[in-house]
Amino acid sequence: MSSTNAFFQNMSIVHPEYFFIVGLSGIPYSNYYCIFLLIAYFIAVIGNSIVLLIIALERSLHCPKYIGVFNLALADLGETNAWIPNMMNAFFSDSQYMSYNACLANMFFVNLFISVQSTTLVVLAFDRFIAICLPLRYHAIVNNTVMSLMFVVLWMFNSSLVALSTSLMNQLSFCKSNVVQSFYCDYGPVSRLACNNNSLNLFLTNLIAALFLIAPVFIIVLSYLGIFFALSKITTWEARLKALKTCVSHLLLVVTFFLPIICMFIASSFTYITPNARIVSLSLSFTLPPMLNPIIYVLNTAEIRVLIRKLLKNKIMPIRKNILK
């Protein structure tokens, strides 16, 4: 009897053949915004690919800090490719339909890479904290093995949690609307379309937000409070500035990633944000970090700048010689 009830309960779960992703439809000047996203996409792909290649090929960069930078560039590259090409295809081909399974895959990969970006910034904050607060023990605490293990655990934990939340979408029944008010298959807007009990899904939404947005900001702020306390003990301003300079790139990455999202959540808690305004602000917060991160690291990291100059010199010098001949 119980198996029969379970059968009918499963039969009552309705999954749509496809979802309609609203994206940028109805947004003023959406053509210009799409051109901006396309430019940002190419900058992000080229920039992060260069960072990945330089770190992978240059042995002098095979150290804990650049293992973190490598993972961040990998997550940036994955996140950019997870949603921008789909949105560009939907916008330019006028086909905003996404099959149910493709929607879940899109949801998984976007959320996974966003979560990896967030937690990687925490790991990089830990690296800077140990380097400045415990400099004599840095190589004992933070080494390539420890950093690699941290990222293996990070990828496994994030993948498991995001896969769990995505798989639970199969327990929801969509019998009313299949219109997703977002630019990708966003977990929150999709789960709110359910016409059966979605309390577990909403709980996981809040849990993921707490783990990958609130907790990272809290941990990073605590780590920098410790860093500033350690810097206050240094007697000379020159030494303080030299130590603080090693944190500039990371601080810029943190501000670029977290500030737009935090501002949007604060604004939404005080005033009503239209779906179009939410889509634009959230898409910008997804677009800017992958585009700016490689630029920030190239401009603020002497080792990468020197390597790029060497590569350009090795490429340009033979061309000049051939021209002179």
Residue pair 304/297 in contact (Cβ under 8 Å)? The answer is yes
Averaged pLDDT for residues 15-21: 92
Homologous superfamily of the 17-324 domain (CATH): Rhodopsin 7-helix transmembrane proteins (1.20.1070.10)
Model confidence pLDDT, tens digit, residues 86-95: 888 887 777 7
Is the dihedral angle over the CA atoms 191, 193, 196, 202 positive or is it negative? positive
Share of the chain above pLDDT 70, in %: 92
The answer to whether 178 touches 16, Cβ cutoff 8 Å, is yes
The pTM assigned to this predicted structure is: 0.89
| Rounded average pLDDT over 185-201 | 90
Q: What is the pLDDT of residues 118-165, one digit of tens each?
A: 999 999 999 999 999 999 999 999 999 999 999 999 999 999 999 999
Residue 24: pLDDT over 60: yes
Looking at residue 323, what is its pLDDT? 57
**For 68-122, how does the pLDDT look when each residue is reduced to its tens digit (9 = 90+)?**
999 999 999 999 999 999 888 887 777 788 999 999 999 999 999 999 999 999 9
Model confidence pLDDT, tens digit, residues 171-185:
999 987 899 989 899
What confidence tens digit (pLDDT) does each residue in 51-67 have? 999 889 888 889 998 99
At 317 the pLDDT is 55
Residue 322 pLDDT > 70, yes or no?
no
321: pLDDT confidence band, cut at 50, 70 and 90?
Answer: low
Q: Could you report the per-residue pLDDT of 218-271, keeping only the tens digit for each?
A: 999 999 999 999 998 887 888 888 888 889 889 999 999 998 888 887 887 788
What is the radius of gyration, based on Cα positions, of the chain? 23
**pLDDT of amino acid 108:** 97
- On the CB side of 105, CA atoms within 13 Å amount to 9
Contact by Cβ (8 Å): 290, 77: yes
